[in-house]
Amino acid sequence: MLNLAYTSSKAAVNMITVAYAKELWDTPIKVNAVDPGWVRTDINHGTGIKSPEEGAAPILAMVLLGPDGPTAAFVQDEGRLPW
């Protein structure tokens, strides 16, 4: 069953990510969204296939972006995803 509150909040986060990225486009600040994948957490009762360390890897990569890195991107381990 579709969880309306969860999916709606995810869509809102995506929208605000792009809005902030556009607002900050001409600054050194990068605004991106990261999909860490299915990570073992308390919220999924430990059923994720990735460890927390594996889930943190794409997030850390985006935190360490250089000045030529993307903005308004949606990324995961495998690279950029379409919005």
Q: For residue 60, give both structure tokens.
A: 């850390």
Q: 35 near 77, Cβ under 8 Å?
A: no
For the chain, helix, strand, coil in percent to 5 are 40, 10, 50
Q: For residue 9, give both structure tokens.
A: 């909040």
- Among 6, 47, 64, 68, the active-site one is 6
Active site residue 20: no
- Which residues belong to the active site? 6
